[in-house]
Amino acid sequence: MLYEISQRTMELESEGKKIIKLNIGDPDQPTPKEIIEAAFEAMKHGKTKYSFYAGEKTLRTKLASIHNVSAENVIIIPGSKWAFFSIMYLLLKNGGNAVILTPYWTAYEMAAKILGVEIRFLKAEFDSNWKIDIEKLRNLIDQKTRLLILNNPNNPTSKVLENSLLEEIVEVANDKKVTIMSDEVYRDLSFVKTKSTLDFGGSQILVNSFSKTFAMTGWRIGYVVVDKELAGKMMKLNQMTFTNVPVFVQEAALKALELKEKIAGEMKAIYRRRADLACKILSETELKFTKPDAPFYIFPKYANLDSEKFAFDLLDKRVAITPGTSFGDYREHFRIALTMPEEEIKLGLEKICEALE
C-alpha cells in the first residue's frame, strides 16, 4: 500500500497536481551541493568505468573505520533494499524462515514474498509502548530460523530500542544462532543516543544507506557490514546483477562521509523542529502516538480507523500519508513522514485532523 500511494502520488504530481507528501521518507532537502560537486568532479575525471563489485576501496575503508571492522566486511550496494533482497535470497533460497519485528518497513515483507521466503512476525504495540516481548521472540525462533530483521530507529514509529532491550534481543539471537539483520538507516539522524546492533557482538548484519542522512535517496547507494563469507557471496551476486554502484556515486558518498557531522547535524535540527511542531498539533487531537526518538516519522493511532480507506480519501484532498497496514497488522495507525517544510506539514496535519473529525 505504501508503494501504491507513492506511485499514485508521483502520477498526480506528473499531471501537475500539488500534493502535500507526508507519505514517503524522501527528504525535501536537496542533496548538499558539495556532494553533487564531488560526483561531477569524479565524472569529469573518468570515474565512469566498470569497477570493483564490492565497491571502491577508499569508501569501504572509510566505512570500515567508522564501524570498527575490516574493509573486507563492507559491501557497497545500490540502496538498503538491495541488502534485504539479496541477503534473504542468499541465505534463504534453500529454505528456512526469517523473523521480522513489527511494525516493520514494508520492503522486508515484500522482498520475502517475491522470494517465497517464510516469514514470522513478532508484533509490538503502541499500547505497551512498542515493547518487544523477549519470551515470545524466543518461542517464535525455531531450528529453521536464519534471520531476525529489525529496524532501529524504527520506521514507522521513530522509536529507538533501549540498550537493555537490544542487548536481550542480541542474546536471544546469539543463543539461537540466528543472524540479526539490523536496518539502521535512521541512526545517524537519531535524536537520542542509539547503539548499533554491531556494538553487542555476535554475527550480525548491519544495513545502512546514504539516502536519509544526506538527502541522497535517488542516488541509490548504501552498504552492509557482513562476515567475510557473506561478503564473498554478495560480491558475486553484485557482479551478476548490477556490477557496481557507479564510482562517481561512491565518490559522492565519500564526500558525504567527510561532511557527515555538519550535514547530519543540520538535518537533525530540521527534523527535530518538525517533529516538535507535529507533536504539538497532534497532541491537541484524539490521536495517540509516541513522541519520535528519531526522524522522519510519526505513527499515530486512531480508534476504529480503516487507514487504507483513510489514506485514499486523503489523497483526494491532496495529502498523502501511508496506511498502517503497510507496516504490519496496524489498520488503526497511519504514518506521517515529516519530509516537507514546516508550513506544509502544518497544512497537511490540519487537513488530516479535519478529515478525522
| Footprint of its own copies (CB under 8 A) | 3, 6-7, 10, 14, 24, 26, 30-31, 33, 36, 39-40, 43-44, 46-53, 57, 78-79, 81-82, 85-86, 107, 110-111, 114, 215-220, 236-237, 239-249
Please provide the size of the chain in residues.
357
Strands of the sheet with 297-298, listed across from one edge: 297-298, 334-337, 322-323
Nearer to its own copies, 96 or 202 (CB): 96
Q: In this structure, what C-alpha cell is assigned to residue 342?
A: 514546516
N-term to C-term CA, the chain: 24
Whether residue 296 contacts residue 186, with contact meaning beta carbons closer than 8 Å, is answered with yes
Other beta carbons less than 10 A from residue 335's beta carbon? 29
Nearer to its own copies, 253 or 287 (CB): 253
Rounded least distance, CB 312 to its own copies, Å: 20
Nearer to its own copies, 78 or 292 (CB): 78
Rounded least distance, CB 218 to its own copies, Å: 4
Rounded least distance, CB 111 to its own copies, Å: 5
Rounded least distance, CB 287 to its own copies, Å: 27
Distance (Å, rounded) from C-alpha 1 to C-alpha 135? 31
Nearer to its own copies, 247 or 305 (CB): 247
Rounded least distance, CB 264 to its own copies, Å: 17
Nearer to its own copies, 16 or 30 (CB): 30
Q: How far is CA 302 from CA 23, 154, 306, 324, in A?
A: 17, 20, 9, 11
Nearer to its own copies, 240 or 303 (CB): 240
Q: Which residues pair with 221 in a beta bridge?
A: none
Nearer to its own copies, 181 or 198 (CB): 181
Rounded least distance, CB 10 to its own copies, Å: 6
Whether residue 141 contacts residue 99, with contact meaning beta carbons closer than 8 Å, is answered with yes
User: Among 257, 183, 246, which Cα is nearest to 213's?
Assistant: 257
Q: In this structure, what C-alpha cell is assigned to residue 213?
A: 542522512
Rounded least distance, CB 189 to its own copies, Å: 17
Counting other chains too, the contacts that 230-235 makes at CB distance below 8 Å and 24 or more residues apart are: 230/87, 230/90, 230/91, 230/205, 231/54, 231/72, 231/73, 231/74, 231/75, 233/90, 234/54, 234/75, 234/77, 234/86, 234/87, 234/90, 235/53, 235/54, 235/75
The kind and range of the H/E element at 164 are helix 163-175
Rounded least distance, CB 43 to its own copies, Å: 5
3-state class of 186 per DSSP? coil
Nearer to its own copies, 81 or 159 (CB): 81
